[in-house]
Amino acid sequence: MLAASRRWRAQGLKVGLVPTMGALHAGHRSLIAAARGENDIVVVSIFVNPIQFGPGEDFARYPRDPAHDEDLLGGAGVDAVYRPSVEVMYSPGSSTRVHVSGVADPLEGAARPGHFDGVATVVSKLFVAVEPDRAYFGQKDAQQAAVVRRLARDLDFSVEIRVCPTVREPDGLALSSRNGYLGSDERRAAVSLSSALRLAADAYAAGERRPERLRRMLCGRIEAESLARVEYAEVVDPETFTPPGTLAVLAVRIGKTRLIDNHDLSKVFPG
């Protein structure tokens, strides 16, 4: 991978990287399209990263569908797919981890200890392997994107971080590989995340600025669904992920499936 990237860059070509864990969907396709529009070469990495999953999380059953991924990538204008093995990414005895403090500590960082260390480590290794000019991440994983921005800035990676808008189903549900876990009743209940964000955005547009009032709106809409359980619902600063701010962030259990979503309340909710 590195040799190929260096050949391209020696020719003056710009390289864009779209990091994924596979189980590709239209959200990933939008990242690829963004990369295609800004670079000469587009690389998609596919790697289900074991060190960003905690004990009892869904690493073993995380969706893996190589045939589907190849079909999606075939018509997406991708120049290379980097699909390293676990043994290549983490050689025996590997113990080094990259820790980003501050922005990685609250919310997802608190709910999933060690998760962002795993993310920061694998992203660092992908940046080393691909040496991209730009890397593309989705707004749905807003805190992850903020962690990666801080990582790139603090460790002087010469890569521009691009964050692309969340892609949603017609009913508002944010696309996620984990949506495939949902049964039919759970799928209907999952729309509560986006409808809660829309409700809070409408209230913000009407002049509501009290964080606790906005938080109660978010929780009230989601908890009206019997299958939904709020892990957190906060309104935070999009850089620090601490209050106060305008970014509404959610983590919700729909049955056994954990979903996240977010929206900047100062903007009209899409759709």
Q: What is the pLDDT of residues 2-40, one digit of tens each?
A: 999 999 999 999 999 999 999 999 999 999 999 999 999
- Within the chain, where are the H helices? 2-10, 26-38, 66-74, 86-89, 108-111, 115-130, 142-154, 184-205, 211-223
Q: What is the pLDDT of residues 120-156, one digit of tens each?
A: 999 999 999 999 999 999 999 999 999 999 999 999 9
Q: Residue 70's pLDDT band (boundaries 50, 70, 90)?
A: very high
Integer Cα distance of 259 and 256 in angstroms: 10
Residues 18 and 130 sit within 8 Å (Cβ to Cβ): no
Integer Cα distance of 116 and 108 in angstroms: 8
The answer to whether 115 is a known catalytic residue is no
From 25, 28, 115, 263, the catalytic residue: 28
- pLDDT exceeds cutoff 90 at 88: yes
Please tell me the predicted confidence (pLDDT) of residue 116: 98
Q: Residue 271's pLDDT band (boundaries 50, 70, 90)?
A: confident
Please tell me the predicted confidence (pLDDT) of residue 84: 97
Integer Cα distance of 265 and 186 in angstroms: 26
Q: What is the pLDDT of residues 185-228, one digit of tens each?
A: 999 999 999 999 999 999 999 999 999 999 999 999 999 999 99
Residue with tokens 């991209």, as numbered in its chain = 132
For the chain, which domains are there? Answer: 2-164 (3.40.50.620), 177-264 (3.30.1300.10)
Please tell me the predicted confidence (pLDDT) of residue 75: 85
Q: How many CA atoms lie within 13 A of 134 on its CB side?
A: 19
Question: What average pLDDT is seen over the chain?
Answer: 97
Integer Cα distance of 175 and 140 in angstroms: 8
